[in-house]
Amino acid sequence: MKKKAQSIIVLIFLLIFSAAAFNCKTEIAELQYSKRIIIINPSLGYTKSFIYLIENKIIDIPDTEFVGIIYDKANHQYERTQEYLDENNYPFYRIEKVTGNLKPETLFQQNSCSEDFHRIFSGSDGILFLGGPDVPSGIFGSKTNLLTNITDPHRHYFELSFLFHLLGGNQNESLTPLLEEDKNYIVNAFCLGLQTMNIATGGTLYQDIPSEVYGLKYVEDVLDMDKENIHSGYKGRLYPGEGMNWCNFHRIKLIEDTFFVTEMDLNPGDLPYVLSAHHQAIKDVGKNLKIAAVSMDGKIIEALEHTEYENVFSVQFHPEFSDLYDPEGDKFKNDPDDTDEFTFNELLIENKAMEFHRKYWEYFSSLFAR
């Protein structure tokens, strides 16, 4: 019995020591960087893009760890991204998988991911929500348009619920937003991310811009529009396999007294040249969100900011693609008969838009130094 008791004591000691060692390692890992930024559901392509932006100091936030959070039910090839990171040395970037069982009826309440949402929020300084596929329209109370293409519903469940937990919404005003714990927390979103932020706070979407906003049914009619009113690369549908540009570049109008003017030091009359690749857009604006930019004809909302949390903002366009900054990026055609091809970087420089895009990331980076 004495030997058994001694063995039990040794076992307890080993368990306590192991737990203490684990906790110690965790604390050391957390102290390696003074700041942490979360990137939600980054694909391999997005991972490479952000690594480029970080290494080239377009995103310039010293002593910062970037953590990609991938929901286990999302279609984002976690294994490929992890394999890429294992094969390369990026100590400032890692990914983490989160599990859960979210359904449309549980998104806007305490659910199986609520604890993870709080853990991720409380252990970080800011968060990014990215571009992606169409949102299931039933979540914002609409029937599904024939042109809506739902390919990754579980990803949307995770991101909608997370943004609702962060910001709150009129779907359930009894839930206290996480940002009430830290009103300076930084939330930035692009394209789908902007649409998700809007839905999560109680807003709605147009499911297809050409048909619902402009009353157009045919690709040729969309291409006959003013280029400033086209928000995706429709020529590729007519000329598949011809190396056509998959997006559209156009200008936007800034709204006075919003972050573009007050924080980025732009003039209200500036017309930034941006990259768009979307066919859905904001219809009704969500709770505590304010329009910060619109399309040239005023029909499409191009940016939002939060009226209660000053570091929450989102854009419909894409400033986060590395090809915008990389002179060696992929080349595309404007028309199938073109002999010349262009890079996104060349287009930005030609249209004097590089300064705007760099200013965007300078502003984002500056928020973490405040």
87-92 own/partner pairs: CB under 8 Å, 24+ apart: 90/51, 92/33, 92/54, 92/64, 92/65, 92/66
Give the CA distances from residue 236 to residues 151, 242, 345, in Å, rounded to whole numbers and listed in that order: 20, 8, 20
Domains and CATH numbers, the chain: 40-367 (3.40.50.880)
Instruction: Name the more confident of 214 and 3.
Output: 214
Looking at residue 210, its pLDDT comes to 98
Give one DSSP letter per residue of 193-262, joined into a string: HHHHHHHHTT--EES-IIIIIS----HHHHHTS-GGG--S-THHHHSTTS-B-SSEEEEEEEPTTSHHHH
Looking at residue 6, its pLDDT comes to 46
Three-state secondary structure call for residue 186 = strand
pLDDT digits (tens, 9 = 90+) for 2-51: 444 444 443 433 333 333 332 322 232 454 899 999 999 999 999 999 99
The single-letter code of the amino acid at 216 is L
Q: Which residues fall within 8 angstroms of residue 143, CB to CB, at 6 or more apart?
A: 137
Looking at residue 329, its pLDDT comes to 95
pLDDT digits (tens, 9 = 90+) for 219-274: 999 999 999 999 999 999 999 999 999 999 999 999 999 999 999 999 999 999 99
